[in-house]
Amino acid sequence: MSCRRPILAQFGMIAALAGCSSACDDSSALNRLGREAGVSADAASDAGLVEDGGLVEDAGSFEDAGAPRRGPPWPVLLVHGFTGFNRLGPLEYFFRVIDTLAAEGELEVFAPALPPYNSVVERAPYLGRAIDLVLRDTSAAKVHIIAHSQGGLDARYAITVLGYDDRVATLTTVAAPHRGSPLGDYVLALPEDTLDPVAMLLAWLIGALDDPSAAPGGDDDWRNDMDAFARSVSPAAVAAYNAAHPDSPRVPIFSVAAVSNLQRARELCAASEWGALQRFDVVDPLLVPTAAALSGWNPFDRTPNDGIVPTASMIWGTFVGCIPADHFDEVGQIADYLPDLISGFDHLEFYRTLVARLRAWEQRVVEP
């Protein structure tokens, strides 16, 4: 497989969001399992999850732990999407979210890192191992998952196909492509070295990690495959998965959709618990090409999206509501310290709301 170079690197902008300089210099197993979670290297080693800086093949099972399992409040796992990372220099994927929640008493919020560019089938087992590690470290019976973008598909696969429905209490997805994204098809159709604006953006977002030596620590098991990623999020592939693997009834799924590009998706959002949006978002300039491609070229019939995923594709399970945000804003990127000046969206307040909603769910649903 040929190595496609990350085009953004050619412009010297890797430090903005994606790149290898910081990640490759800091490539311990904790970079994969979530340094922000507070899982120490010793704890990871004791749990049998790391060996010489890499994940061992057999992470052990939840049942092997043997210790009594405690009830709620349960830990929360923040699961990243594609191009995901735990930390790149000063940047965290879920920017400042863990520190903000910790300051308010939520001390068991974890951010595992999965292979950033690969299929759901390849990424989900890493999530499963991270779940097992967190359960061992906290003695909790279950975890809540809040998953962004492709992370939502990874979590659904881990719950339903890998059998983690006995260890996951709830799944909340944020802008997950539950019905796929046409950008997956777009990537697969691109000839090599195509430099139109959409191709340039996707080449940056997806990078060029076909070469395993570019993975953190050079771990061959930490494979990155752009084509596999694109196939797994294409509408046809996701539709086939949805048909073959109905969600487990044991795990409630809540979804949050996002709308940007000066759209509000009134009809879609009005059907949610939060109701119609009152404000709109201006898409990040870096997402203008993909937002335009997803919107379509008919100005009178545009497809609502967040610059990466169509809004309608994000709705799954219980539809909680919409947020006026693009795919970067949803996790506070790039380095959003303040609420958006136009939409008013505050990603930190958003995650506070999601976690508070989970705590209310525990009190309402889980027997004491």
Strand partners for 259? 324
**Mode of pairing for the β-strands spanning 87-88 and 91-92:** antiparallel
pLDDT digits (tens, 9 = 90+) for 341-350: 888 899 999 9
- Please report, in angstroms and rounded to a whole number, the separation of the first and last CA atoms in the chain: 54
Work out the average pLDDT over 244-259. Answer: 96
The confidence band for 173, taking pLDDT boundaries of 50, 70 and 90, is very high
Q: How many CA atoms lie within 13 A of 155 on its CB side?
A: 35
Q: How far is CA 20 from CA 4, 59, 138, in A?
A: 14, 27, 31
Q: Does residue 145 lie in a domain region? A: yes
Which residue do the tokens 């922000």 mark?
36
Q: Is 215 helix (H, G, I), strand (E, B) or coil?
A: coil
- The pLDDT score that the predictor gives to residue 90 is 53
Minimum mean pLDDT range among 51-60, 164-173, 210-219, 312-321: 51-60
Give the pTM: 0.77
Q: What percentage of the chain carries pLDDT values higher than 90?
A: 44
Of 89, 76, 154, 87, nearest in space to 117 by CA: 154
Work out the average pLDDT over 103-113. Answer: 92
Work out the average pLDDT over 96-101. Answer: 93
| CB 85 within 8 Å of CB 94 | no
| CB 331 within 8 Å of CB 111 | no
The confidence band for 85, taking pLDDT boundaries of 50, 70 and 90, is low
Q: Does residue 127 lie in a domain region? A: yes
Q: Does residue 1 lie in a domain region? A: no
Q: Does residue 2 lie in a domain region? A: no
Q: Does residue 206 lie in a domain region? A: yes
pLDDT at 25 over 70: no
pLDDT digits (tens, 9 = 90+) for 193-237: 453 454 444 444 444 333 334 334 344 555 666 777 778 888 999
Cis amide leading into 216 (omega within 30): no
89: CATH: 3.40.50.1820
Look up the domain containing 137 and give its range: 7-365
**What average pLDDT is seen over the chain?**
74
Name, in order, each residue with C-beta under 8 angstroms of 104's C-beta and a sequence gap of 6 or more. Answer: 352
| CB 315 within 8 Å of CB 227 | no
Give how many domains the chain has, as a whole number.
1
Q: Does residue 30 lie in a domain region? A: yes
Work out the average pLDDT over 157-186. Answer: 94
- The pLDDT score that the predictor gives to residue 44 is 32
Work out the average pLDDT over 105-130. Answer: 89
Q: Does residue 327 lie in a domain region? A: yes
- Phi and psi at residue 254, to the nearest 5°: -115, 140
Work out the average pLDDT over 65-88. Answer: 77
- Phi and psi at residue 341, to the nearest 5°: -70, -30
